[in-house]
Structure 1
Amino acid sequence: MLPTTVNGTARRGPHRSTSLLPTYLRRIIKPKQMDLEYTFWLMLQLCISPKTAYRHTSYHKQTKNQWARDDPAFVVICCVLVATAATAYCVTFSDGLWHSVLTVASAVLVDFLLVGWAIATAGWFLANRFLRKKNVHSHAIEQHVEWMYAFDVHCNSYFPLFILLYVVQFLLSPLLLWRSFVSAVLSNALYAIALAYYHYLNFLGYSALPFLEHTEVFLWPVAGILLALPFAVLSSFNATRFTLSIYFG
């Protein structure tokens, strides 16, 4: 959201983001206050038309006067979906109840939330420290990226990655786990597409903010992914076998 001016100074984004937390957390325990219909629509748009999804971010700013969502439905649904998919993997590949519980908890708390917190914090810091446009007029209100918005961007980017690396990978796992060149190519391509799309959506999320510039830096990891892909294929590295071996041995 745009910070308001108090005593001639701009109120910074992190403070305003913190003020959202009580309402945000309160709505988590009140499912009736969550807009599930809009959330599922947004998830669909992130997969088929991500620019449409971020156009609605601008509408949200106009109506709520903040960029970040005040509805935790997206995070809650993602947690449920990740836990469900991780349970399916555990039923298929795990050999113990306690190990399965730890794997599901790790998928939700570490892979989605903790890693997301770290990525959102890095993006929030990078955007506020280096990418904000300089105010050419002294009377202009200084704008900052809200941390909650940065986390929203991560969540938005994570959902298509979840579809590819949890759902599609699980369905294709009998093929992807073969010890063959074709399986390695398909597995590495799946991971490359998922990770590249994740960073592309990060780019769209930050470029939707009119007070940022040079947001193409969020596309730089895509170049690294494309450069690493041929080496992974030529070395017969199989991303699916490697990932599942970490979780299930």
Structure 2
Amino acid sequence: MSMTLDIRPSCLCTERLTAAAKRWRFLKRIRQFDQMDFQFALWQMVNLVVAPRKVYRNFVTRKQSKDQFARDDPAFLVLLSAFLCLSSALITVVLRLGFVGFIKFLLWSVFVDCIGAGMITATVMWAVTNAFFRADRQHDVEWGYSFDIHLNASFAFLVFIHIIQPILYYPLLSLQGFVGSFFACTLYLVACSYYLYITFLGYSSVPFLKGTRKLLYLFPFLLLLYCVTVGVGWNVSRAVMNFYHYRVM
């Protein structure tokens, strides 16, 4: 006997909030630090790296109770901003960018790498999933949820690129020849795999989306790209760190 997940809200609201109303309620809560659940947001961050499946069970529960998949608590966004500040400081020290360079790098990280790229990625995935993966046309994927999926996947990705990479850069990743290229490309393979897998988990958790396993078809292309970069000896870590340096100097 099959079980069907009930995604109808169990709350007593008689009207569904519009997307604009949900965004306004979210923005209003950004100033209310005493009402944010930072402990739970930190739990999400840890599990996005060690057990990402656990995180998306909460998103399904939120849909049942509050009629939305997207986060209604900005605590995760606040902690992500703090993480970007700390990781930007670490990269600044490693690359010797100075204080002005730190400010520039932080602004790039927050407004271009995170928010700008996130809005583009979320919009593309929101359009694609609603156009090609919906089995029930009475429901649609919220744009805010697509953006949350990107933030979740980005955090795991940035743990490797903004924390592990600068720590290992000079002793290992920047080495000339095959050794440096191998470890640098492997680090990016793991980081990109996390991003792709967490993105897949996010959309596969939506009960009215079907065929989301097709997102995993990108893994063979990722592996092929990895083999090519290692084969030609391209050190992607050195290229990225040089890009970080020259875009703020």
What's the secondary structure of 2:41's corresponding residue? helix
Tell me the distance in 1 between the aligned counterparts of 2:224 and 2:108.
Answer: 30
Are the aligned partners of 2:69 and 2:145 in contact in 1 as well (CA < 8 Å)?
yes
Identity within the alignment, %:
32
What's the secondary structure of 1:132's corresponding residue? coil
Which residue is 2:120 aligned to? 118
Are the aligned partners of 2:118 and 2:151 in contact in 1 as well (CA < 8 Å)?
yes
Query: Is residue 152 of structure 1 aligned with residue 148 of structure 2?
Result: yes
Deviations along 1:197-248, one digit per CA (max 9) or x if unpaired, are 1011101100100000111232233222111111100111111100011111
Structure 1 unaligned runs (5+)? 4-10, 136-141
- Residue 209 (structure 2) aligned to one of 196, 207, 212: 212
Which residue is 1:25 aligned to? 27
Which residue is 2:168 aligned to? 172
Which residue is 1:8 aligned to? none
Deviations along 1:60-103, one digit per CA (max 9) or x if unpaired, are 11222211111111112112211221122112213444333211
Which residue is 2:157 aligned to? 161
Are the aligned partners of 1:83 and 1:105 in contact in 2 as well (CA < 8 Å)?
no
Which residue is 1:133 aligned to? 135
Are the aligned partners of 2:153 and 2:196 in contact in 1 as well (CA < 8 Å)?
yes
Deviates more, 1:55-64 or 1:228-237: 55-64
CA displacement at 1:23 relative to structure 2: 1.1
Are the aligned partners of 1:16 and 1:146 in contact in 2 as well (CA < 8 Å)?
no
Change (3 A) 1:183 1:146: same
TM-score after normalising by structure 1: 0.88
Tell me the distance in 2 between the aligned counterparts of 1:222 and 1:121.
Answer: 22
Q: Report the RMSD for the aligned CA atoms in angstroms.
A: 1.8
The one-letter code of the counterpart of 1:167 is I
Tell me the distance in 1 between the aligned counterparts of 2:44 and 2:136.
Answer: 32
* Displacement over 4 Å in runs of 4+: none
Which residue is 2:13 aligned to? none
Deviates more, 1:166-175 or 1:90-99: 90-99
Equivalent residues in 2 for 1:1-249, closer than 5 Å: 16-134=18-136, 142-174=138-170, 175-249=172-246
What's the secondary structure of 1:213's corresponding residue? coil
Are the aligned partners of 1:60 and 1:67 in contact in 2 as well (CA < 8 Å)?
yes
How many residues were matched structurally? 233
Change (3 A) 1:38 1:95: closer
Tell me the distance in 1 between the aligned counterparts of 2:225 and 2:94.
Answer: 30
Tell me the distance in 2 between the aligned counterparts of 1:219 and 1:79.
Answer: 29
Tell me the distance in 2 between the aligned counterparts of 1:182 and 1:85.
Answer: 25
Tell me the distance in 1 between the aligned counterparts of 2:106 and 2:232.
Answer: 31
TM-score after normalising by structure 2: 0.88
Tell me the distance in 1 between the aligned counterparts of 2:98 and 2:88.
Answer: 14
The one-letter code of the counterpart of 1:28 is I
